[in-house]
Structure 1
Amino acid sequence: MVHLRQADLYNRLLRALDPEDFAVLQPALRPEDMLLRQMLIAPHTRIDTVYFVESGIVSVTNDGASGRVEIGLIGREGLVGASPILLGDDRTPYTHFVQAAGHMLSVDAQVLLGLAEARPAMRRLFLRYIHTHFAQTAQTAFANARGNTGTRLARWLLMYHDRSAGDVVTVTQEFMSLMLGVERPGVTQALRVLERDGLVRTHRGLVRIVDRDGLLRLVGDSYGTAEAEYDRLIGGPTAPTD
Structure 2
Amino acid sequence: MTTISQRLKLARKHARLTQKALAEKVGVEQPVISQLETGRSQKSAFIYDIAVACGVSPAWLSHGSGDMLDARNGPVLTTFADSNAELIGDISAWDEDDPLDEDDVEVPYFAEVEFAGGNGMTEVVEMGDRKLRFSATTLRAAGVSSQGAACARVKGKSMERLILDGAAIGFDMHDTNIHDGEIYAFNHGGMLRVKYLYRLPGGAIRIRSENDDEYPDEVMSAKQWHDEVRMLGRVFWWSTVRRSPKR
Shorter-chain TM-score category?
under 0.3
Q: Which has the larger radius of gyration?
A: 2
Tell me which protein shows more helix as a share of its residues. 1
> With structure 1 as the length reference, what TM-score do the two structures score?
0.22
Greater relative contact order: 1 or 2 (C-alpha under 8 angstroms, separation 6 or more)?
1
